[in-house]
Chains A and B, each alone.
Chain A
Amino acid sequence: MHTVIIGNGIAGITCARHLRKNSDEFITVISGETDHFFSRTALMYIFMGHMRYEHTKPYEDWFWSKNRIALKRAWVSAVDTEKRVLQFNDSAQLAYDRLVIATGSRSRTVILDGVNLSGVHTLYSLQDVERLDESTKAVLSSAQGARKAVVVGGGLIGIELCEMFRSRGLEVSMLVREPSFWGNVLSLEEGRLVEVHIRSHGVEVLTETELVSIEGEAGHVSRVRLSSGAEIECSIVALAIGVEPNVNWLQNSGIELGRGVLVDRMFRTNAQDVYAIGDCAEFRDPPSGVAAINQVWYTGRMMGETLSQILIGKDVEYAPGPWFNSAKFFDLEYQTYGQVATVPKPDEQHFFWRDLEGRRSIKVVFDAQQSIFLGINVIGFRVRHELIAAYLEKEATSQEVLKRFER
């Protein structure tokens, strides 16, 4: 038995490791990006000089051969699910018995004037960071051109890009389409609180503003034009307008695609013995409380764990516990648990508290009728995952939860 996993990200690697623990089959992990598994979430720290690429690898290089997980650095260009063969872009081939597609996401781009100019960036891969680094060095060492970057997108990758550019001394403007930062996840109050903090780190935040076009001189970015009519002189434009499943290369494979690779709750695609997990998978019929596409580290890991059990013959389905996630906005830490909408749904009530300094806030969501705890956002606090998950699972009352925050 030869199980081949395409993608050495958290999803593919977690699956490979747990499969190895429980089975003796041949395992091959393929990636075109890097030789070894590294932490994508740490890309910003490489750019900022907190770490080197080496430090972002969770396992030492000998780990893979010791655990008999074969690694292959190559880009897969096509899959033949009939013959069970992978085609690489250098025309080599590899046969598999079972295939796991864990090819992650890719950055979304827009069709706009000037997006192909040099100095326009996205942030997803290690190579993206290398390009950002070169571009930034060039801007800092050149006498011409504004020492300024424009970040397009008020979300998690957008704010990371702002911090990255600020760490290297560039001026930064951030364009946010919504009325406040990360407006499709945070409430207006939370977004505002974060904006004040971002501004205190020297970032100009422009809300309800979109990019109209990018202009260049001699093939390089020199200014952007905004929906507000304003223009900003800049040398770098970073697009952080979201990611989409990286599945284009599967167009003609016969594997059914929606936005991602369509799978059931056991990650099975329409093709025999072909599975998909992580950012690139899309549930046809997601378990309750789970989105169709899940693009975070944790879900990639949990899918990898679960699929490893399915591959050794256990009868399990994907069933993560209550949703959780976390992030950091410059110096502000953010955690979320359960279902937290930006504004209260009809049968919900939201309790919101923030301190006067704008460094901490809590938002508790509960059922309006029975006062059952449904979810929580915290900024500037660290709360215990196990504790909150237990509250959510036993349907604790909002009073019980809020009591913990008194003091």
Chain B
Amino acid sequence: MVLKGIRYGAAGLVLVAMAVFVILPFVGEFRLTERVFDEVVDASHHEALKSLMHDDFGRTFIGVHGLVNSVNEAVTSWNVAAKAESRWDEVIYADYAFTIAHAAAVGWVVDARWLLFFLVFGLPVIGGLLFIWLSYRDREGVAHHGVFHRALTSRGGVALILGVVLIAFYVVLYWFPAYTVNWVLLVDPISEAISGSQASQWFLYGSMYTLVILVMGVRMLLKYQFSPYHSLRTALLMFFQLCFAFIIPEVLAALNLPAQDLKNIWPLDYSFFFDYRLDAMLDAGTFGFFLLGWGLLLFMVVVPVMTYFYGKRWYCSWVCGCGGLAETAGDPFRQLSDKRLIAWQVERWMVHGVLVFAVLMTLAVLYTYWTGEASLVQVAGWSVSSYDLRSWYGFAIGAAFAGVVGTGFYPFMGNRVWCRFGCPLAAYLGLIQRFRSRFRITTNGGQCISCGNCSTYCEMGIDVRSYAQRGQNIVRSSCVGCGICATVCPRGVLKLENGADDGASRTETKPFVFGNNQIHVNW
């Protein structure tokens, strides 16, 4: 009874933190002064913008919204005029709303930074860990009681609210970053401590992402404490996120080297061949060459070799950052993936379509890099350049798909929407896994009882049961080898294996399930 109370209290702490987080973008004071303007705005734009914004100098805005409007209005009106008079080189593309707001922040949010930091980041860690500890401290087996009775994990009202909040967060992060400024202020001191510079919205996002993986990783470690496989892969995911995705790039940046996530692989890392990144690597001496070589080695050698031996799980559910979030924060939602045949059909077109798009876009970018020629096709006054492809890809795939849909849809469509339908690297790994790998999930003779736990809890929406009840190995390009199907199987039927078998027997189908002698004798 007491424990139950503490557990609710812990959940309450997380809710309080979420409430503070949601309110923050609407509050705070921002004082726009000439000094702020001079500091932040590029000298080449001073003349253009100063006269337009001059009236607001000295004004204090309550909430960031007014300031953002003021900045954007000034920039827009300048650009409209510049475009009208065809002064193309004078158009301003820089997003000053975020940087000005960041520099203009004053008042209680800034003063109460540490308190707010504690409320927004400390509370959910404390509350979350306490809740997790009380929920999963002594698990000996599968913990799925009530999954379809609770609104949060079965597309109920709470799930709807959470999904809307997540989607709104991603929309703000990608397209209205100025509204993240109060959150960013809270992590400034940390950024300054690590790399010496102020935080950006991406630093904020990276810290939150890492924190969520660590806390929810602890949940996985406890929930599956009886399984060495899940413990190991969860620990790996937490390690790679903390060190490779978060700390190492910050340290590299502090050392003035290209800040690269060394485990991110093209084409997931779709900007790897973009001019500015190639230049950064080529300008960074030996270390830069190492980065370039490492990046090429990863997708040309490491991916095929590792996938041959272990299947795509070595990346998707042991190393990858997207996988890291999906396997930790996303675990409560894995049962929401669509298992229908139609979903599989859509998936195959979509994910391989993205792979093709990524390859073409990269080829175009490289073409431009080598030839200096940006334009690719020109038909009747209509032209497409490699820069267009780049920005379409970045918008549609990099931001909308991977971010908004990928994570925002967790409570609606499960935790692997991006990995399943959109990730070009997953598609590439998947092709190798399907056709040139030893990895498969074997089914134990005739022991399947068709209960459906495996299919239900497959985050990739694979109808595992349809294979298991036929006694057939599961060999699917989408399988990320998370191993949950094997864990939830109540009859010990499923086993992830990568022992020597890369031949025809790997995908063999038998007319009847093992155990029925008469049929085998007479066929």
Binding site for B on A (CB under 8 A): 10, 18, 39, 41-42, 45, 48-52, 55-58, 60, 167-168, 297-298, 301-302, 305-306, 309, 314, 316-321, 324, 326-328, 330-331, 333, 335, 382, 384-386, 389
Which of A58, A168, A302 sits near B469, CB closer than 8 Å? A58
Residues of B within 8 A of A335 (CB): 447, 491-492
* Residue B446, interface by CB 8 Å: yes
B450–A58 contact, CB under 8 A? yes
Residues of B within 8 A of A309 (CB): 519, 522
Contact sample, A vs B, 18 pairs, CB 8 Å cutoff: A41-B450, A49-B145, A55-B455, A298-B449, A302-B446, A306-B516, A306-B519, A309-B522, A319-B517, A320-B516, A326-B447, A326-B449, A331-B140, A331-B141, A331-B226, A382-B495, A384-B444, A385-B447
Q: Considering the complex, give the chain B residue whose CB is closest to the CB of A332.
A: B141
B145–A167 contact, CB under 8 A? yes
B452–A39 contact, CB under 8 A? yes
Kindly state the separation between the CA atoms of A297 and B469 in the bound complex, as whole angstroms.
Answer: 11
Residues of A within 8 A of B512 (CB): 18, 305
Min C-beta distance of B302 to chain A, whole Å: 32
Q: Considering the complex, give the chain A residue whose CB is closest to the CB of B145.
A: A167
A305–B513 contact, CB under 8 A? yes
A55–B447 contact, CB under 8 A? no
Min C-beta distance of A398 to chain B, whole Å: 21
| Contact status of A384 and B445, CB under 8 A, knowing A41-B450, A55-B455 | yes
Residues of A within 8 A of B447 (CB): 298, 324, 326, 335, 385
| Contact status of A49 and B518, CB under 8 A, knowing A10-B450, A41-B449 | no
Residues of B within 8 A of A330 (CB): 141
Kindly state the separation between the CA atoms of A204 and B445 in the bound complex, as whole angstroms.
Answer: 35
Which of B144, B445, B449 sits near A39, CB closer than 8 Å? B449
Residues of A within 8 A of B491 (CB): 326-328, 333, 335
| Contact status of A60 and B519, CB under 8 A, knowing A50-B148, A55-B455, A389-B445 | no
Q: Considering the complex, give the chain A residue whose CB is closest to the CB of B486.
A: A382
In addition to A51-B451, A320-B516, A327-B491, 7 A-B residue pairs with Cβ atoms within 8 Å of each other are A41-B449, A41-B450, A50-B144, A56-B452, A302-B446, A320-B517, A326-B491
Q: Which 5 A-B pairs have the closest CB atoms?
A: A385-B445, A331-B141, A382-B492, A319-B518, A42-B451
CB interface residues, B 385-434, toward A, < 8 Å: none
Kindly state the separation between the CA atoms of A56 and B452 in the bound complex, as whole angstroms.
Answer: 5
A324–B515 contact, CB under 8 A? yes
Min C-beta distance of A345 to chain B, whole Å: 24
Kindly state the separation between the CA atoms of A55 and B458 in the bound complex, as whole angstroms.
Answer: 12
Residues of B within 8 A of A60 (CB): 340-341
Residues of A within 8 A of B456 (CB): 50-51, 55
Residues of B within 8 A of A384 (CB): 444-445
B515–A297 contact, CB under 8 A? no
A324–B446 contact, CB under 8 A? yes
* Residue B498, interface by CB 8 Å: no
Which of A316, A333, A386, A389 sits near B518, CB closer than 8 Å? A316
Kindly state the separation between the CA atoms of A243 and B180 in the bound complex, as whole angstroms.
Answer: 63
* Residue B76, interface by CB 8 Å: no
A52–B449 contact, CB under 8 A? no
Min C-beta distance of A284 to chain B, whole Å: 18
Which of B144, B453, B455, B518 sits near A318, CB closer than 8 Å? B518
Residues of A within 8 A of B450 (CB): 10, 39, 41-42, 58, 297
Kindly state the separation between the CA atoms of A45 and B465 in the bound complex, as whole angstroms.
Answer: 15
Which of B144, B488, B515, B519 sits near A49, CB closer than 8 Å? B144
Kindly state the separation between the CA atoms of A298 and B512 in the bound complex, as whole angstroms.
Answer: 12
Which of B340, B490, B516, B522 sits near A302, CB closer than 8 Å? B516
A51–B452 contact, CB under 8 A? yes
Residues of A within 8 A of B141 (CB): 330-331
Chain B: interface residue total (CB-CB under 8 A):
42
Min C-beta distance of B228 to chain A, whole Å: 14
Kindly state the separation between the CA atoms of A55 and B338 in the bound complex, as whole angstroms.
Answer: 11
B451–A321 contact, CB under 8 A? no
Residues of B within 8 A of A382 (CB): 444, 492, 495
Min C-beta distance of A407 to chain B, whole Å: 15
A50–B514 contact, CB under 8 A? no
Q: Chain B 136-152, CB within 8 Å of chain A: the 1/0 string?
A: 00001110111111100
Kindly state the separation between the CA atoms of A23 and B289 in the bound complex, as whole angstroms.
Answer: 65
Q: Considering the complex, give the chain B residue whose CB is closest to the CB of A163.
A: B145
Q: Chain B 448-484, CB within 8 Å of chain A: the 1/0 string?
A: 0111110110000000011001000000000000000
| Contact status of A385 and B446, CB under 8 A, knowing A58-B465, A320-B517 | yes
| Contact status of A49 and B449, CB under 8 A, knowing A60-B340, A382-B495, A385-B444 | no
A42–B444 contact, CB under 8 A? no
A45–B451 contact, CB under 8 A? yes
Kindly state the separation between the CA atoms of A385 and B448 in the bound complex, as whole angstroms.
Answer: 11
Kindly state the separation between the CA atoms of A48 and B140 in the bound complex, as whole angstroms.
Answer: 17
Min C-beta distance of A394 to chain B, whole Å: 14
Residues of A within 8 A of B446 (CB): 298, 301-302, 324, 385
Residues of A within 8 A of B452 (CB): 39, 42, 45, 51, 55-58
Kindly state the separation between the CA atoms of A31 and B515 in the bound complex, as whole angstroms.
Answer: 27
A386–B140 contact, CB under 8 A? no
A48–B146 contact, CB under 8 A? yes
| Contact status of A56 and B451, CB under 8 A, knowing A50-B456, A384-B445 | yes
CB interface residues, B 490-519, toward A, < 8 Å: 490-492, 495, 512-519
Kindly state the separation between the CA atoms of A321 and B519 in the bound complex, as whole angstroms.
Answer: 10
Kindly state the separation between the CA atoms of A18 and B226 in the bound complex, as whole angstroms.
Answer: 40
Kindly state the separation between the CA atoms of A164 and B145 in the bound complex, as whole angstroms.
Answer: 9
Residues of B within 8 A of A55 (CB): 452, 455-456
Min C-beta distance of B5 to chain A, whole Å: 15
Min C-beta distance of B466 to chain A, whole Å: 7
A52–B148 contact, CB under 8 A? yes
| Contact status of A302 and B515, CB under 8 A, knowing A326-B447, A333-B492, A382-B444 | yes
A324–B455 contact, CB under 8 A? no
Min C-beta distance of B95 to chain A, whole Å: 46
Kindly state the separation between the CA atoms of A326 and B494 in the bound complex, as whole angstroms.
Answer: 14
Residues of A within 8 A of B455 (CB): 55
Min C-beta distance of A161 to chain B, whole Å: 15
B516–A314 contact, CB under 8 A? no
Residues of A within 8 A of B144 (CB): 48-50
Min C-beta distance of A82 to chain B, whole Å: 32
Kindly state the separation between the CA atoms of A327 and B491 in the bound complex, as whole angstroms.
Answer: 6
Min C-beta distance of B23 to chain A, whole Å: 34
Kindly state the separation between the CA atoms of A42 and B456 in the bound complex, as whole angstroms.
Answer: 12
Kindly state the separation between the CA atoms of A264 and B488 in the bound complex, as whole angstroms.
Answer: 39
CB interface residues, B 107-128, toward A, < 8 Å: none
A305–B445 contact, CB under 8 A? no
| Contact status of A51 and B518, CB under 8 A, knowing A58-B469, A60-B340 | no
Which of A52, A168, A327, A386 sits near B514, CB closer than 8 Å? A386
A50–B145 contact, CB under 8 A? yes
Kindly state the separation between the CA atoms of A306 and B512 in the bound complex, as whole angstroms.
Answer: 10
Kindly state the separation between the CA atoms of A21 and B449 in the bound complex, as whole angstroms.
Answer: 22
Min C-beta distance of B196 to chain A, whole Å: 50
